[in-house]
Amino acid sequence: MKGKPTIYDIAKKLNITAATVSRALNNNPRISQATKELVLKTAKDMNYEPNKLALALKKGKSNNIGVVVPYINRNFFSSVIRGIEEELFPKGYNVIISQTHESAEREVDIINNLLNAQVEGIIISLAKFTKNTKHFEQVLKKNIPLIFFDRYQEMGGVSSVTIDDYQGSYDATIHLIEQGCDRIAHLTVDPTLSIYKHRLEGYQQALIDHSIPFREELVVKLKSDMEEGKRVAENLMALENPPNAIFSTSDYGALGAIKWLQTNGYKVPEDVCVVGFSNEPFTQFLDLSMSSVDQVPLEMGKMAAQVFLEQVNDGNNVKIEKKVVLSPSLIIRQSSTKK
């Protein structure tokens, strides 16, 4: 026999109908006890395994949850996924993970594929270039819980789990001011995205609260990688009045800035303090440990899963709009500690 045995193979061996085999395997009262025992013994002898997905779909439940992230190889997103799985797996749910690679078009395809797979919920951090929400409207039309985390768009009937990006940025900037820094550069990934917009606003408010003039040339856009951090640091330090602190909304950008500063004769933090955002694992293991804002990803994943469970357990109210905002934590290390 090629491949896995089916109920048709059992039926053929016993010279009975596939329907009888199916009923026997499902303990149907219409089937005699003797036939049930014979079918079960034959199924065991043939190493028959039921198609769990097919059985679940027949019952109207797939027990699958779609989790969509920009990249799975970033510690933040992998930690969120871990939190989601830790909450949902004991409840009998399986997680289907997909990556958008920051592509809005790919995100649309992924959502359609998850809907075709009859997932019971979708937890997603939006791709950077997502502007249209029609594919999410399709999720809501099917009465499937939709939860945004980290990156989100305001939509009716959609819950979200985020951190207070404004507060995290405000706290980081205040810390740098307390170190005596008054020319603080702000490196942002994409100021059009809500999370980076809020981080910019927190940075600006901290300057206002301490009567430090806002300098537009010190707000610089960069990609979230080390080489970009090096490039931006070089340009900033070439200014007539260069910064004495760099606050990057990307740990990778902050790492690149530190590497360039050290290579070119600047002392960190004596000449330039540096703070990142995300608290990637590498930040604590550098020769010069890096200060960073911790986004509590494990807690975020657990909370997103809990929001899903609340919605799915209330079948009449899956379109609730629960907005959970978690508190970030500034982890102060060597790269920004003068005093």
Contacts of residue 191, Cβ cutoff 8 Å, sequence gap at least 6: 197, 200, 221
Query: What is the pLDDT confidence band of residue 64, given thresholds at 50, 70 and 90?
Result: very high
pLDDT tens-digit readout, 259-275: 999 999 999 999 999 99
Residue 57 scores a pLDDT above 80: no
Determine if the pTM surpasses 0.85. Answer: no
Give the whole-angstrom CA distance, residue 250 versus residue 228. Answer: 10
The H or E element spanning position 98 is strand 94-99
Determine the pLDDT at residue 316. 59
pLDDT per residue over 161-173, tens digit each? 999 999 999 999 9
The tokens of 2 are what? 């090629």
335: pLDDT strictly greater than 60: yes
Predicted confidence at residue 67, as pLDDT, reads 98
Domains of the chain (ranges, CATH numbers):
7-50 (1.10.260.40), 64-163+297-326 (3.40.50.2300), 165-295+330-336 (3.40.50.2300)
Question: Which position has the higher pLDDT, 86 or 315?
Answer: 86
Task: Give the span between the Cα atoms of 309 and 319, in whole angstroms.
Answer: 12
pLDDT score for 219 = 97
